[in-house]
Structure 1
Amino acid sequence: MFQFFLYRLALLVPTFVGVSIVSFSFIRLLPGDPIMLLAGERGMSDERYAELQAVYGFDRPLLVQYFDYVFDILQGDFGTSIVTKRPVLQEFFTLFPATLELSLCAIILAVSIGVPAGVLAAVKRGSWFDQSIMSVALIGYSMPIFWWGLLLIIFFSGYLQLTPVSGRISLLYFFPQVTGFMLIDSLLSGQEGAFRSAASHLILPAVVLATIPLAVIARQTRSAMLEVLGEDYVRTARSKGLAPRRVIGLHALRNALIPVVTTIGLQVGVLLAGAILTETIFSWPGIGKWMVDSVFKRDYEVVQGGLLLIASIIMLVNLLVDVLYGLINPRIRR
């Protein structure tokens, strides 16, 4: 198992190098000059412009800039924001708990609904329930996040006035953030109504972000279950008179978990990518909104450092999924 883990870990090295090249090149391919954006409408003299170019290293060849960037990354230095003058790593971990809280709620919602729905659709194959679940899943997968989010805001926040429009908590509440997770910090604060406010602000963004992963998980679970339910060992278990719940839960679902776990792991990347749109729509102060604002400001250090950090998280999640493969099915280790 340890050799299997080391092999998967070694595969991350070329991926990391490729991501570093993409993150470095992406922002530089966009039109715009970060130095001129700093100057604003006032402008600046040619001497001051050349001085700032030298300060930020933009006057050096791109290849030299890239190797300097990689050398700093290996030392744990992801740069300093051109706009805020704060370390990128500090800003990332300040905002990441908000994105992680939203993503965790979304994936829990997607798994808790998607897996049972997929299992029931497979068991009741061809029934009205199966067709309804797959139709809803197809609609959910095809629906653009920005349109779906605005639709929910108009209906639940505007028409019914049940949920807030944006933010993480009402401005009426103020308390120190110990963990960065608003649900936990609101409970620790002891302020009456703080947890309810935090939860109500989380509902719509979590539903919007969970829609596509839920649809994918439900469809993948159904496909995996249909394949397993036709195997000989499942028919043998049924012929022995085992309870249907035992046959489905112990024999069928466990063997269908490999593709389902793969899908859930891949949805982490979808969640982080979808969080950019979701956080922008709901003004959620996470890394998605932070990255969008940094692209518009041409903040090179934030964009390339943020992309690399997000990609590293996705790679670690995929590594965890690979390890889970070996635990679920030991034959994969060989």
Structure 2
Amino acid sequence: MFQYFLNKLSTTIPTFLGISLIAFAFIRVLPGDPIMLMAGERGVTPERYEELATQFGFDRPFYIQYKDFLFNILSGDFGQSFVTKQPVIEEFLARFPATLELSLSAMFLAVLFGLPAGIVAAVKRGSWFDHTLMGISLTGYSMPVFWLGLLLIILFSSILGWTPVSGRISLLYFFDIHTGFMTIDALMSGQKGAFASAISHLILPAITLGTIPMAVIARQTRSAMLEVLSEDYVRTARAKGLSTFRIIGLHAFRNALITVITVIGLQIGVLLAGAILTETIFAWPGVGKWMVDSIFRRDYQVVQGGLILISSIVILVNLTVDLLYGLINPRIRQTRG
């Protein structure tokens, strides 16, 4: 297992280097001048411009700048925001709990409804439930996040008045933030109505963000289950008189679990990407909205560091999924190790 881990870990290094190079190069082709942003466009002298270019290394060759950038991020230094003058890693960590809370809630809803729907659709293949589910899944997967979010706001916030439009909690509540998860902190505060307010603010963003992963999980679970249910050992289990619950839960679903875990792991990246739009629509103060605001402000250090940090999280999630393969099915460690 340790050798299997080392083999998988070695494949993540080139991926990380490639992402860091792309992020570093991408920022430098965006319109705008970071030196003018720092100095202010009014009254900046050529001497001051050259001084800032030398201070931040913009006057050096590209490969030298990239080498310094790579060494800095490997040591944990992701730069400093041009606007707030705060370290990028501190701003990221301050906002990441909000994004993580939203992503986990969205994934919880996606798995809670997508997994059983896919299993039942496979068992009842060709039935009205199967066709209805696949139609709903296709609709959910095809609908853009920003469009779905706006529709939910119009229906549940504007027309029905059931949920808030934006934010994480009502401005009526004040308490210390300990975990960064608003629902947990609201529950720990002991203030009446705080937890309910946090949940009401979370519902629409979580549904919006979780719709596409829910559709993907449902469809892929159905496909994996149909493939497993056609195997000889399933027919043998039925011939032996085993209950449907035992056949589906113990034999079929366990062998289809690898595909399901793959899908769930890949959807983490989808959630982080979708969180950018979702957080912008619902004014959710997470990493996604932070990145969008930084792009508009031409805060290149934040955009660059944020891309690296988000990509690193996705790489770690994919590595974890690969390791789970080996734990679920030891034969994979031999064939893929």
Scaled to the shorter chain, the TM-score interval is over 0.9
**1:141 aligned residue:** 141
Does the CA-based 8 Å contact 2:37-2:82 persist in structure 1?
no
Task: Describe the shift of the 1:79–1:41 C-alpha distance in structure 2 as closer, same or farther (beyond 3 A).
Answer: closer
In 1, the alpha carbon distance for the partners of 2:22 and 2:301 equals 13
- Counterpart AA for 2:47: E
**1:102 aligned residue:** 102
- Identity of aligned pairs, percent? 71
CA positional deviation for 1:63: 1.5
**1:26 aligned residue:** 26
CA positional deviation for 1:43: 4.8
**1:288 aligned residue:** 288
**2:257 aligned residue:** 257
**1:268 aligned residue:** 268
**1:48 aligned residue:** 48
Q: Deviations over 1:96-152 (max 9, x none)?
A: 000000000000110111010000000000010000000000000000001110110
CA positional deviation for 1:40: 5.2
Q: Deviations over 1:17-47 (max 9, x none)?
A: 0011011111111111123234556352322
**2:75 aligned residue:** 75
In 2, the alpha carbon distance for the partners of 1:281 and 1:168 equals 13
Higher mean C-alpha displacement, 294-303 vs 234-243: 294-303
**1:221 aligned residue:** 221
Higher mean C-alpha displacement, 55-64 vs 41-50: 41-50
CA positional deviation for 1:6: 1.0
CA positional deviation for 1:53: 2.1
Q: Deviations over 1:231-276 (max 9, x none)?
A: 0000011111111011001010000111111000000000000000
Does the CA-based 8 Å contact 1:27-1:298 persist in structure 2?
no
- Counterpart AA for 2:211: T
Task: Within 5 Å, give how 1:154-233 maps onto structure 2.
Answer: 154-233=154-233
What is the TM-score of this pair, normalised by structure 1?
0.98
- Counterpart AA for 1:325: Y
What is the TM-score of this pair, normalised by structure 2?
0.97
Which consecutive residues of structure 1, in runs of 5 or more, have no partner in the other structure?
none
Does the CA-based 8 Å contact 2:39-2:49 persist in structure 1?
no
- Counterpart AA for 1:127: S
In 1, the alpha carbon distance for the partners of 2:291 and 2:26 equals 13
Q: Deviations over 1:143-183 (max 9, x none)?
A: 00011101100111100011000010111111111010001
In 1, the alpha carbon distance for the partners of 2:294 and 2:56 equals 16
Task: Describe the shift of the 1:55–1:109 C-alpha distance in structure 2 as closer, same or farther (beyond 3 A).
Answer: same
CA positional deviation for 1:48: 2.3
**1:299 aligned residue:** 299
